[in-house]
Amino acid sequence: MAEAALPVLYSFRRCPYAMRARLALNVSGIAVEHREVELKNKPARMLAASAKGTVPVLVLPDGRVIDESLDIMRWALEKHDPLHWWPNDPLRLAATMALIEENDGPFKHALDRYKYPHRFGLADGAAWRQAGANFLLRLEVVLMTQTYLAGQRQGLCDVALAPFVRQFAHTDKTWFAEQSWPHLARWLAEFEASAAFAAIMHKHSPWALECGSGVFTKR
């Protein structure tokens, strides 16, 4: 009997949206065919599946396409959520989604202009660094009284936000380390040292139809 087809994941290693999708797929134990994308040379098959042209894109064996990172997380965690990342309580879920929306909106807006000021016609990203820092200081206040953003155990908001906070921190590591947010720094360091993060950061060669692709599994 032929082996069942795997879902196909179009991804880019350093993209924070793709990171959080891979985290959910990994923790849920769902194997996918990993197709690493070169952002300057996007595969025609990915663009045919999702016209938005950004990763992650998950193509299911039945042809359905999920092309938003949070939707991929939901799909994976609905199948298997061994660490109980997805909030079951409606009020907690609403608060989690509000925090993720702020991360994906105003914080990501500031992050892009801090990290890539010249793309936006800016001399530098100093003002936007401060705007991003204001959001991170709010996270620091939360982490002063609890171990994770989700509470006393890691949850959806932690794994959904950490890749973006990591990108902000890595823009100027020296500056980030000098700031007064020890609890945030501890939280980020724990995320970066985790087995889950290591599992989703394996390097893949850019996917090309003629050379096949790798398989991404839980490790």
Where do the domains of the chain lie?
8-82+199-216, 90-197
The pLDDT of residue 218 is above 80: no
Q: What is the rounded CA–CA span in Å between residue 71 and residue 73?
A: 5
Are 32 and 4 in contact, with CB atoms under 8 Å apart? no
Residue for token digits 């155990």?
A: 153
Q: Does 107 have pLDDT greater than 80?
A: yes
Determine the straight-line distance between the first and last CA of the chain, rounded to whole angstroms: 26
Secondary structure of residue 20 in the 3-state scheme:
helix
H or E stretch covering 215: strand 214-216
3-state secondary structure of 65: strand
Q: Does domain 90-197 have CATH number 1.20.1050.10?
A: yes
Q: Does the structural domain 8-82+199-216 have CATH classification 3.40.50.800?
A: no
Query: pTM for the complete prediction?
Result: 0.93
pLDDT tens column, 126-175: 999 999 999 999 999 999 999 999 999 999 999 999 999 999 999 999 99
CA distance 212 to 35: 9
Does residue 59 sit in helix, strand or coil?
strand
Kindly indicate the confidence band of residue 208, based on its pLDDT and cuts at 50, 70 and 90.
confident
Is residue 51 within 8 Å of 62, Cβ to Cβ?
no
Instruction: Give residue 213's pLDDT band: very low, low, confident or very high (50, 70, 90).
Output: very low
The rounded percent of the chain whose pLDDT value lies above 90 is 92
For 14-34, the pLDDT digits (tens) are 999 999 999 999 999 999 999
Residue 175, exposed/middle/buried by CB under 10 A (0-12, 13-18, 19+)? exposed
Window from 57-66, 84-93, 163-172, 201-210 with minimum mean pLDDT: 201-210
As a whole number, the mean pLDDT across the chain is: 93
